[in-house]
Amino acid sequence: LALSNLQAYLGELGAPTPIPTFPSADPVHNPNDVYRSYIAAALEKLVDCDRVLLYESLQRPSTLSKGDLVLVLPRLRLKGVKPSDLGIELASKFPALGLVNPPVPLESYLQFFYSPKLLPRLILPFIHDRKESYSKSIAPGQRKKAIVEFSSPNIAKEFHAGHLPSTIIGAFIANLYESSGWDVVRINYLGDWGKQFGLLAVGWEKYGSEELLQAQPLKHLLDVYVKINAEFKPEEAASKQARDEGRDTAEIESQGLFAERNAFFKRMEDGDQEALALWKRFRDISIERYIDIYARFGINFDVYAGESQVNPATVVEVESLLKDKGVYQEDQGSWLIDFAKHGAKGLGTAILRGRTGTTTYLLRDVAAILDRSRQYSFDEMIYVVSSEQDAYFQRVFKTVELMGYPDLAAKLKHVNFGKVMGMSSRLGKVELLSDILDKCGSAMHDVMRTNAVKYAQVSDPNTVADTIGITAVMVQDMSGKRINNYPFDINRMTSFEGDTGPYLQYCHARLRSISRKAKAAGIDPDATDGDIDYSHLEDDHAAGLLRIMGQYTEVVDLAFRNLEPSTILTYLFRLAHQLSSSYDVLQVVGAPEGHGAALARAALYENARQVLGNGMRLLGIKPVDRQ
């Protein structure tokens, strides 16, 4: 996979060597950069313009009908030349390059189409040599470290619509960083501390059952919490009303469940052994279950952290830094920051330490950042949390800055997403992540049963239904831009038609089946260079596929910049559609064009499958081989 091998190979194909170099070119990793480098080097001789700017003005157009690369002429900012005239001139002078057809000027673009003759010779061995690592970059020298914090449910509370996208998108972002050569730490920051835990403990005394806790811990803790919370609601409402009317809430909060809740949480914060022992049991037993559920997604957290794990000494440190900087102020017994006073008007005020002396969500988050920067010395930390917490994270980051750590604040990033609409109304009561997955798995199983012939061939339908059901949920979640809300629609997402998860899985399984059948007929889908006669892959269908396959690295790089799973998914569907329209034309077993064509096509499909599978795995989807 070294540059020298690539050079030598390109030399064999008739391209001049060495490959011209440009600062951002990465030809070993991205085949488009091979083309870019040669095209830019040829253009350099024709136009008086900075060569790096030339290189960077060669862009991937929105659709392949406009070219594989286009030179965006206005970007060259040449004085006194009309871009369209320049395009015509450059097209007439452009030298013959084996890699591309003669360029085509169109308005302010100069379009380049890859030569169908060279395409298979370059792209197929490129992918075949790299397999799983096609698109992965091998970070030279010092690797960077990223923390990706995602999922982060609250113990004893429902796994709400916000945790599902966090889990799916967060896993993707972690994979994406890893495949871009970063070291990644996956952290689940559990909601395992705070007053709600005090309330749960109060509820446990009234409604807890050891037996139920052992049998179904997540469900039982949730039931207990729901019951006690219902009793607590009126007290909470009374306090809120008092506050809204500007009355003192101290009296209301010093009685009833309010007082019991706060007292228990205070005991926890003060290190009371008995209180902590109960809390620890709930936490441990919940994590045990979480591990199994995340495994269904193929997710493995490096750390189950949580609000409880924040170092108390760091909390004290944060507060004293804030006091020193004069940004921390006392107000009726609580401690807060008035952001407006410190150059952040829109952020209002935030309480960091409550009147009873206990820490808040915000204070714990800020302290956790200091803890993590010391423990991991990360280069970037990404929080994958719903857009409902946009303002909250602005406050967290601003607080880190005000505390005197602007460089640390600059490493923090909130990746947000919109709402999943109507999950509970469509699935019935869903409270736990496992409920969501079970329901999608069984809906998938129903869909699979409707095709009796195929169903009979699946050896382990339960597992397959579970995997495809999870794929269905994931693909629905990742189809749009992160920030958009989307409806949770179980009928649509479990359909094999349209751009759904099951369709993607179908496509992968079909390619596997093509390879199996080819092998059985003595055609090796894993054939390498010397054995394949590439002249069988110069037609439009093969070229259409190869052109898409060659773009994968570039698509991954784009996704790394915008952190949008839909960037990858849209690409995979383009690949899948191109494949669907090729099967009838490019036959393998029994191809009328004979064994040579069959062998070349088998290799084409097998490498297309590799790209599809790489993309699915990057998204966190486990490709199935049969379904």
Query: Residues with catalytic annotation?
Result: 157, 160, 163
Tokens at residue 88, please? Answer: 């015509």
Q: In this structure, are residues 200 and 222 in contact, taking their beta carbons and an 8 Å threshold?
A: no
365 binds ligand ARG (CB under 6 A): yes
385 binds ligand ARG (CB under 6 A): yes
Smallest CA-to-CA distance from 417 within 296, 620, 615, 565 is with 565
363 binds ligand ARG (CB under 6 A): no
Give the footprint of ligand ARG on residues 137-176 (CB under 6 A). 149, 152, 154
Q: Which residue is nearest to ligand ARG, using beta carbons?
A: 191
The answer for residues whose C-beta is within 8 angstroms of residue 92's C-beta and 6 or more apart is none
Query: Half-sphere exposure of residue 566, counting CA atoms within 13 Å on the CB side?
Result: 12
CA 232 to chain centre: 38
Torsion angle in degrees (nearest 10) through CA of 87, 88, 92, 94: 10
222 binds ligand ARG (CB under 6 A): no
Q: What is the DSSP string of 233-264?
A: HHHHHHHHHHHHTT---HHHHTSHHHHHHHHH
Cβ neighbours, 10 Å, residue 500: 21
What is the nearest approach in angstroms of ligand ARG to the Cβ of residue 562?
22
191 binds ligand ARG (CB under 6 A): yes
Smallest CA-to-CA distance from 26 within 554, 550, 608 is with 554
358 binds ligand ARG (CB under 6 A): no
Q: In this structure, are residues 337 and 288 in contact, taking their beta carbons and an 8 Å threshold?
A: no
Nearest CB to ligand ARG, comparing residues 222 and 504: 222
Give the footprint of ligand ARG on residues 267-286 (CB under 6 A). none
CA angle 75, 567, 120 (to 5 degrees): 80
What is the nearest approach in angstroms of ligand ARG to the Cβ of residue 386?
7
What is the nearest approach in angstroms of ligand ARG to the Cβ of residue 216?
21
Q: In this structure, are residues 612 and 443 in contact, taking their beta carbons and an 8 Å threshold?
A: no
Nearest CB to ligand ARG, comparing residues 33 and 365: 365
381 binds ligand ARG (CB under 6 A): no
What is the nearest approach in angstroms of ligand ARG to the Cβ of residue 165?
12
CA 33 to chain centre: 25
d(CA 22, CA 326): 50
What is the nearest approach in angstroms of ligand ARG to the Cβ of residue 440?
22
What is the nearest approach in angstroms of ligand ARG to the Cβ of residue 316?
20
Nearest CB to ligand ARG, comparing residues 154 and 175: 154
383 binds ligand ARG (CB under 6 A): yes
Nearest CB to ligand ARG, comparing residues 222 and 385: 385
Q: What is the DSSP string of 476-502?
A: HHHSS-TTS-EE--HHHHT-SSSS-HH
306 binds ligand ARG (CB under 6 A): no
177 binds ligand ARG (CB under 6 A): no
d(CA 519, CA 544): 25
189 binds ligand ARG (CB under 6 A): yes
Sequence length of the chain is 627
104-106 vs 329-331, strand pairing mode: unpaired
What is the nearest approach in angstroms of ligand ARG to the Cβ of residue 383?
6
Say how many residues touch ligand ARG, by CB under 6 A: 8
Nearest CB to ligand ARG, comparing residues 129 and 236: 236
Nearest CB to ligand ARG, comparing residues 105 and 191: 191
Q: In this structure, are residues 4 and 11 in contact, taking their beta carbons and an 8 Å threshold?
A: no
Nearest CB to ligand ARG, comparing residues 22 and 189: 189
What is the nearest approach in angstroms of ligand ARG to the Cβ of residue 439?
21
Residues that bind ligand ARG (CB under 6 A): 149, 152, 154, 189, 191, 365, 383, 385
